[in-house]
Chain A
Amino acid sequence: MDTLHFTSREKVFDFLDDYACQRKEEIDRHQLGKDQGLIKTYLMETLPTNGNAVMDVPVILRGTGWRITPVDEAALYRVRDKEGELGFLETLSSRHLALHSTKKTDRADKALRNAVFATAQLDFAWLAGSTFQTVWQHLVLPQMPDRFVTFKFEHLARFEDAPWDESDEELDEDWSADELIERRASTLAITERSNQIARFLPQLQTYHPPFKAIKMLRIPAAEARGGYDFWSWGKVTYRAPTFRDGRTQILSITRLYEQTTRAIERRLWLQAEKTTLRDGGESVTLTGAPVTLAFDPPLSLSTFQNFITTTFERGQGPLRLWGNPIPLGERKVHVYGIDLHLWKRIYLEITPQRMIVILPQGTCGNTVHRLVTNVQRYLDPTVRVFIADERYNDLVKGAFLGQATK
């Protein structure tokens, strides 16, 4: 489909709406074309801007190798990469971008992964299990009790017993694919009516905690069959007949995400605050707070050591952290290092019982969402997370329901 003739946002949205409708009809007839991709939106985060500064999209994308041309004057761009047309890029807020693509999963996922890894300006938007639980408990369950909902859970105990090795990482290339690799993953997919899921999900999660690691939640479309699959790394797959409705859901999740990210930064940033005194002298204080991830039961010693070796000594694994661990005995390390997604500083204390994280000023709050998502997925699905003295779950819930946060 040649999209070059689109000259307005409205025409692009019309095209995507028609496309979504056609694909949904094909899905319902079990005749989805072999070369037809469902619409996918990839939600991305960039660094916080100063005040209300407008995002400079060409500068942010410079390292990605993407070529963008504006569709109109309303911050919507047509995107091509070296393999050709990729989709439409839209700025959703001062720090969030969305790429809408009709390309097949393999092609689009790979393009996004390559772009995000090639630049220090972009990261995915990471939706942790707590975020999905909040949307499920406070929106889907009360308002759509009879609708079908899909959950996908996935916990990969990749650091237990044996160190992460290259083959693990190679296989994990599929971490973003919709199709699960059953032989490598402890996974479960449930599609059931909301009120039915509500009856067994809490017990399921109590008896088998790995099912707290939610990898995907399908939020039903309003007054239409199907829904929108929200994946933990910020990808949304449209399995409903309208693009515009799906985009509305994405905008809501983006607002929730942005609010929690800003709250995290406001509370956590380690920064020196200087005051000039009456006699011209200067006083300085340090403000900030830690993120605490509590592991209960504690990680086994081998899991702890494999995690440290993989992440820092070998520079592998899912967290993409960098630094020299300073050992403080066999069961404790301090790392004054870097988060390689956005190349910002991060300080960590890691023991089998906990991870304490300090974010120096300027380090994106998104780092916390990514840590929580990946720690739940790879280390401890029952991890309890605190932003300063508040539960991460409560922070997300407060933002979603408009309740005052600290």
Chain B
Amino acid sequence: MEQTPLFQLNLMIWLTWPAPPSGIVRPIFREDGFALRGIGSAFELPLEIRARAGAAGTPFKERPGPDLLLDHHQHRLFLPIECKVSSFGPDVPPGNKKHQACQAAALLSATGSYLADYFGLPAPADWQAYLLYAVSGSQEAAMQATLGHLSTRLQTAHIDPTPAGALGIHMRDDGIYLKLAPAASVPVTALQALPSDGVRVVELENGEDPRLLYLLPWDPSIGPADEYERRVLEERVRSALTSLIGSRLDAPTFEVSLDEILQAAVEVWEVWHDRQAATGFRNAVRVYVKQILAQLRKTGVDIQIRRNTFIFVQITPQVAQMVRRYLTSASFRQGEIDLWSEAVQLDFSSLADGW
């Protein structure tokens, strides 16, 4: 398989979660005392930093957000992690404010004491940060060079850059390995004094697909990159809808809302729901739910709609049994879910009585 940003992101999350001592995942961040503080948390940088970057002509993102932010309270250390399939260069084409180097320069400007103060932690001056760029294997040296270039430019602009390193994610037959760029030195014990082929963080049988379960099924800023990622999101939506209806059928009347389905399918929905890319997804899920409600109504189930909440009424044990039979049928389980076509992503039927 080809690495994708979501694969990398999920791998890094797994490395912060507890795991059995002899399990297939070695959570190197957790075993060193790091904890996951935030996913995609953006923060604003100080005005003077932005002014200095602007004056020096350094392309810069005003409100950067690393893919993951880890912290280590005992060592008072932040570890922002950015996941990239490929490395990129330090030069930004004129006018391209979305270039990855803009985010990198901004993240390099976020010192530990600034982040600690921003998050309201005690003794912020004691905190340090180390920026980590995780890239596909063999890209780490080029990525390290870019980080070096950007750090030099920031120093020229009188901005003190935070230390940074590049980490290659290497997929081999027997596992996933992490390998630091030669010039990098990261404050994570397992990544120091590495064997020449890196540290194995996921153990695989020979030829086993390296994907772990996706804890985060979707990033609205990226979207699904391959067939697996599409399937994951489709099955998450299907199981969310099934669970919310199926678990409530013992009540004579119950409600399920569209937001509940979205929240169950994508646990971080509550925070990401207002992103522009999420709108298309919400529309698509609405279209799918509409199709399923139509099928349920054909069996005689009374479902009323109030905005984006659907209300099941007069549910008798017989009706409940019928609905459960439908939800466990092969036709429902194997039914197509289209979350990706333009037709469903741009569905505006909710503006009228689209249900």
| Chain A residues within CB distance 8 Å of chain B | 47, 59-60, 62-63, 65, 118-121, 267, 270-272, 274-275, 277-279, 281-290, 292, 294, 315, 322-324, 326, 328-329, 331-332, 334-338, 340, 342-345, 347-349, 351, 353-354, 356, 358, 360-361, 386, 388-389
Contact = CB atoms under 8 A, between A and B. Distances in A.
Interface residues of B, number: 62
Nearest to A268: B18
Interface string B243-271: 10011111110000000000010011011
Contacts of A324: 235, 238, 333-334
B249 A63 contact: yes
Nearest to A349: B213
Nearest to A322: B328
Nearest to B120: A278
Given A281-B42, A332-B208, A351-B208, A63 B320 contact: yes
A337 to B, nearest CB: 5
Interface stretch (B33-41, B94-102, B166-174, B339-347): B33-41
B247 A342 contact: yes
A286 to B, nearest CB: 6
Contacts of A281: 41-43
B36 A326 contact: no
Interface in B189-238: 205, 207-209, 211-217, 228, 231-232, 235-236, 238
B271 A282 contact: yes
A344 B216 CA distance: 18
B160 to A, nearest CB: 22
A275 B39 CA distance: 11
Contacts of B328: 315, 322, 340
Interface of B: 13, 17-24, 36-44, 69, 118-120, 205, 207-209, 211-217, 228, 231-232, 235-236, 238-240, 242-243, 246-252, 264, 267-268, 270-272, 317, 320-321, 328, 333-334
A272 B272 CA distance: 11
B23 A277 contact: no
Given A340-B328, A360-B267, A62 B205 contact: no
Please list the 10 inter-chain residue pairs (A to B) with the smallest Cβ-Cβ separation, ordered nearest first. Answer: A343-B246, A328-B209, A386-B20, A283-B41, A343-B247, A283-B38, A388-B18, A63-B250, A336-B235, A284-B271
A264 to B, nearest CB: 13
Contacts of B212: 349, 356
B43 to A, nearest CB: 7
A302 B30 CA distance: 36
